[in-house]
Amino acid sequence: RSRARRKDQHQCPRRASPAVSVARRREPTFFCCGDAKRDALRDQRSSSPSMAALGGAGGTPPLNVQRKVAVLGYRAVGKTSLATHFVKGRFVDEYDPTIENTFAKKIRFKRAHFATEIIDAAGMDEYSRLSRNASVGVHGYLLVYSSTSRSSFEKIRFINDAVLRVQGQSPGVVRVLVATMADLRGQRQVEADEGRALADRMHIPFVECSAKENLNVAEVFTTLIKEIEKDTGFLDDQAQPGCAIL
C-alpha cells in the first residue's frame, strides 16, 4: 500500500504538469494574435477613403432633389429635338407632332443632383391651354421658339400669358426664353438681339441653341435649374449641409 500511495503521488504531478505547460504556451500566442488583428484593422482604417474624400468638400454628400420642368412652344420649333438631345445625346431630325412626352434626366451640380422630370408639351398657339401635367407641380418653364420662324416668336407672348394664368399671375414664375435652330443661319427670321430684348422685357434669361450642332443644349436646362434654385440655397457653396427630396 505504501508503495502504491507513493506511486500515485509521483504520477499526479506528471499528469498536471503537461496541462499547465500547454496553458502557459497558449496564453501568449492568443494575445499575440489579438494584437496582430488590431494592428491589421488599424492599417485598414487608415488606408480606406474618408468621408471627406467620398462626399467632397467637408465630407458632405450631394443633395438629392427632385424637379419638374415643362418645355412649351409653338408647333415644329424643335422642343422634342432639344429634350431628346439633352436626355439621350442624339439628334432627332424628322418631325413628328407631339401630343406630350415625358423625359427624365439627372442634372448634377457640385452640391446637388437634380432628378429632373421634363414635360415635352404639345405645340401651342394663342388658343391653347396648358395640360394638367404641364401645370401641376412644375418648378420652371422653357418658352421655346424657332429662330427660323417669325410666327413662333410672336406666339411666345400668348404662351407666356397662358403660363401666368395657370400660376396665378405670380411674377416669380421661373421661365427661360429659348431660341432653337441657330444652325440654320441662311433661314433665320428672328435675330438673337430680338430674342434677348424680349427676354429683358419679361425679366427672364435668354439662350440661343441648336440641337443639331449640340450648341448650348445643356446650358438651356442648367440655366433653368439655376433660376429655380436662386432662393433655395441648394447651389450655394456656403449653405448648411443637408438633404432634400422635393
- Residue 94: per-residue pLDDT: 76
Element (H, E) at 112: strand 112-121
Q: Which residue has the cell 411674377?
A: 171
- Residue 92: per-residue pLDDT: 85
Could you tell me the sign of the dihedral formed by the alpha carbons of 29, 35, 40, 41, in that order?
positive
Q: How far apart are CA 122 and CA 238, in angstroms?
A: 40
- Residue 54: per-residue pLDDT: 35
Q: How far apart are CA 150 and CA 158, in angstroms?
A: 14
| Spans of the chain, pLDDT less than 70 | 1-59, 237-246
- Residue 246: per-residue pLDDT: 42
Element (H, E) at 179: strand 175-180
Q: Is 107 helix (H, G, I), strand (E, B) or coil?
A: strand
- Residue 245: per-residue pLDDT: 35
pLDDT tens digit sequence for 52-82: 333 444 568 889 999 999 999 999 999 999 9
- Residue 35: per-residue pLDDT: 52
